[in-house]
Structure 1
Amino acid sequence: SGLKTVMLAAQAIRVGDGNLFVAGGMESMSRAPYLVPGRTGELRFGNAQLTDALLLDGLWDPFEDWGMGNAAEFIAQKYEVTRLAMDEYALASHQKTAAAQDNGRFTEEIVPVEIIGRKGKVSIFDADETFRRDTSLEALSKLKPAFQKDGKVTAGNAPGLNDGAAALVVASRTKADQLGIKPIARVIGYDQAAVQPKYIFDAPSQAIPKLLDKIGWQLSEVDLIELNEAFAAQILANGIALAELGWDWDKVNVNGGAIALGHPIGASGARTLVTLIYALQDRGLKRGIAALCLGGAEAVAMAIEMEPA
């Protein structure tokens, strides 16, 4: 997880193993290879079946022997999340992302990249591509279940397969002062949780309360939350599980989330934290939590506070 790298950087600073780090993550899902199992072992000659590395390494649970979409179906059933609720949430994610891009809310958090075309023409890549400003509840409702014949999870209420990267500079205050760098935000604390593999999408609802207890915050004291949208089923289930703590949907993913922006799995944790920082800054708010689930049926969560402007 890209968020775990930030946690590791903060830990290293706190124990004196360093004072300045670049932490983050990347994923190129479009260029994930196909594997030939046994090529250097029993298979010495002849044909072989290719294995999708993206599915095998990133999107498959070997314990339950099912894909992440099946895990999303499982959590939807556990929390009685309806297909309509999932589609409505997905629509809202796209709409919030479109509005955020139109209003320039992503400008500060994106580093433009120059792309050189085949004929040498240079274009500037500075905006996310995958959100659909023209989608509708009607269009989403017509999509067929993607993982189970009678299921609720579709391509519309799940994130896309994306390429992406995100990074942050993590430094001790002493080092930042030494370099003349004004910090944007401060890491208050972090925690993690692990659950049984089939309950992977329950993990964020375990990690967030652990973090709150650790740092002495109430959920009502948090101004904004960035919780990765692995699936609409997952984030809706997490909201139900955390309702008794005062979960407020108006504070969650205010600029949309992975259903609209995409979920390049190695980058998403760092991306949620970057987005959280700039969303807080843009709105003049102070406290935030970034969280997401990750491989091994785990989740990580981090609390930050913005530094005075």
Structure 2
Amino acid sequence: MASSDSIKPRDVCIVGVARTPMGGFLGSLSSFSATKLGSIAIQCALQRANIDPSLVQEVFFGNVLSANLGQAPARQAALGAGIPNSVICTTINKVCASGMKATMLAAQTIQLGINDVVVAGGMESMSNAPKYLADAREACEFRGFLTNGKFSYFDKRKMVGSSLVISYSKIIFWNFKSTVLILYMKPNPLISRYSFLPYFLNRKGSRLGHDTIVDGMMKDGLWDVYNDFGMGVCAEICADKHSITRDDQDSYAIESFERGIAAQNSGHFSWEVVPVEVSGGRGKPSTIVDKDDGLGKFDAAKLRKLRPSFKENGGSVTAGNASSISDGAAALVLMSGEKALKLRLQVIAKIRGYADAAQAPELFTTAPALAIPKAISNAGLEASQVDFYEINEAFSVVALANQKLLGLNPQKVNAHGGAVSLGHPLGCSGARILVTLLGVLKHKNGKYGVGGICNGGGGASALVLELMQVARVGPSSL
């Protein structure tokens, strides 16, 4: 039993956590938007913290595939959870590390004395990521002026001002493209009174014929824009560089499933998962989803027979030893030590330190090996003091390579399974691994834990937790 002396006024305390089950692609949670999943996680985390939503001062929530969600996804999730309209909400996109970065930013506001109660986390519905029809916008191409019947070509490089155009054409806004000016016109019945008129030519955007549809999930979530290839190619580069074989990856993936199934069967995930009621539709009864979809699809023999997904000849990364496309959300309620003690709340853990790191985009897979030591140092700890690690299993090779680079004991990494077996909803995972890490520390009697997660573009984030054993000493005063 820790005393209140171990909690300082500006310590960042975690007083409530929750995550939804991880739904498979087009699986059990596919009928929910990311923002709805976020609302479910936030609402449950607040209930578990035993605090009223009106106490929340700010919300930081991660989300990567925001297209078609509507404005301000984090705010939608917050208001849907009953958080007041007056609360500031910010959506964070650091690709896979979004949920963890949101937690880090929330922690900073508490450490700086800006806030006392902040909600952080992340959400994603990869099942509902839309597809895009690129270049489908229409506009007109401004070529010049017709003055008294004569055409004068317009050269934007010689343009000094646009007062003439604005005065006589009632233009709303404009932007430059190529060597001409694109104008968006507002009808003006008086324009015929003038002897000089802007001249437009050609329809822009989608032309007659077929168009190419872009997969929003691939484009904005799973594609290396710097090298123009899938993230799985980066995993293949990592496997080659660090001599990690197909068998190594398959064996790791199988163990991830076995650990996840064992944790589920032991009831360890019930501490973190909030059951979700899913409507049956058309008069059918609703169902309760309280287990991660991926754990029910495990077949070790089949996994070892899968073909490589990203490299035909000699490839080692498959759909089985990579993380699965998923839907889900996770939330954490953070509070200053001063506020937690005042309200006599149970403190689950403290955030001791955190850090980011980055390297070449195609090497994002091993960026956690840079961020994790920085975070441990920032926490004032030594690596030898860390009891358990959560390293996001974007691919099995990611966990294996970072274990190898950091010299970690595999038994201390992802003790309850990881993204390969549970799922990897992009904007959610950084927060999900923190919630799972708390469960690991709780059930395995650990004190210090480190979560690390890589992200597209070459980055990574890491965060250090200290599990506390402070019980309520009286009813909370809301």
Deviations 1:39-89 (A, max 9, x none): 225324543211000000010011111111000000000001011000000
What is the TM-score with the length of structure 1 in the denominator?
Answer: 0.95
Find the aligned partners of 2:401 and 2:444 in 1 and give their Cα distance: 27
Partner AA of 1:173 in structure 2: G
Q: Which amino acid aligns with 2:226?
A: F
Question: Is 1:5 the counterpart of 2:5 in the alignment?
Answer: no
Aligned partners of 1:180, 1:212: CA distance in 2, in Å? 29
Q: Is the 8 A contact 2:388 2:441 kept in 1?
A: yes
- Structure 2 CA distance, aligned partners of 1:287 and 1:187? 10
Partner residue of 1:82 out of 245, 248, 251: 245
Q: Structure 1 residue 143 and structure 2 residue 306: aligned?
A: yes
1:133-186 superposed Cα distances (whole Å, 9 cap, x missing partner): 6422x3222111001102000011001110010000011011222333211000
Tell me if 1:163 matches 2:327: yes
For residue 223 of structure 2, the aligned residue among 60, 69, 72 is 60
Q: Residue 394 of structure 2 corresponds to which residue in structure 1? A: 230
- CA contact under 8 A between 1:95 and 1:133: conserved in structure 2? no
Per residue, is there more helix in 1 or in 2? 1
Match of 1:129 in 2: 293
Q: Could you tell me which of 101, 106, 122 is aligned with 2:264?
A: 101
Give the SS at the match of 1:48.
Answer: coil
% identity of equivalent residues: 43
Q: State the SS of the aligned residue for 1:185.
A: strand
Output the CA distance in 2 between the equivalents of 1:221 and 1:132. 35
Instruction: Say which SS state the counterpart of residue 443 (structure 2) adopts.
Output: helix
Deviations 1:177-215 (A, max 9, x none): 233321100000000100111111010011011122222
Show structure 1 runs of 4+ deviating over 3 A. Answer: 44-47
Unpaired runs of 5+ residues, structure 2, are 1-97, 139-203, 471-478
Q: 1:209 is matched with which residue?
A: 373
Q: Greater CA deviation, 157-166 or 38-47?
A: 38-47
Corresponding residue number in structure 2 for 1:266: 427
Structure 1: distance between partners of 2:379 and 2:351: 11
SS in 1 for 2:353: strand
CA contact 1:109–1:278 (8 Å) conserved in 2: yes
Amino acid at match of 1:114: E
Q: How many Å apart are 1:278 and its aligned residue?
A: 1.4
Structure 1 residues 210-231: Cα deviation after superposition (integer angstroms, max 9, x where no partner): 1222223222211111110000
1:178 match: 342
**Which among 55, 71, 90 is matched to residue 234 of structure 2?**
71
Secondary structure at the aligned position of 1:94 is classed as helix
CA displacement, residues 105-143 of structure 1 (integer Å, 9 cap, x when unaligned): 10010011111211141211111111256422x322211
Structure 1 Cα separation of the partners of residues 310 and 207 of structure 2: 35
Report the residue type matching 2:466 in the other structure: E
Structure (1 or 2) with the larger CA radius of gyration? 2
Post-superposition offset of 1:236:
0.7
Give CA deviations for 1:76-105 in whole Å, capped at 9, x if unaligned.
000010110000000000011111111101
Q: Distance in 1 between matches of 2:338 and 2:268?
A: 31
2:449 is equivalent to residue 294 of structure 1: no
Contact 1:98–1:133 under 8 Å retained in 2: no
**TM-aligned CA deviation for residue 26 of structure 1:** 0.5
Cα-Cα RMSD:
1.3
Aligned to 1:218: 382
Q: For 1:123 and 1:180, locate their aligned partners in 2 and report how far apart those are by CA, in whole Å.
A: 36
Give the distance between the partners of 2:211 and 2:434, measured in 1 at CA.
42
- The structure in which a higher percent of residues are strand is 2
Cα distance in 2 between the residues matched to 1:116 and 1:62: 38
Q: Name the CA distance, whole Å, in 1 between partners of 2:297 and 2:416.
A: 13
- SS at structure 2 position matched to 1:165: strand
Is structure 2 residue 344 aligned with structure 1 residue 192?
no
Amino acid of the structure 2 residue aligned with 1:266 = G
Q: Which amino acid aligns with 1:174?
A: E
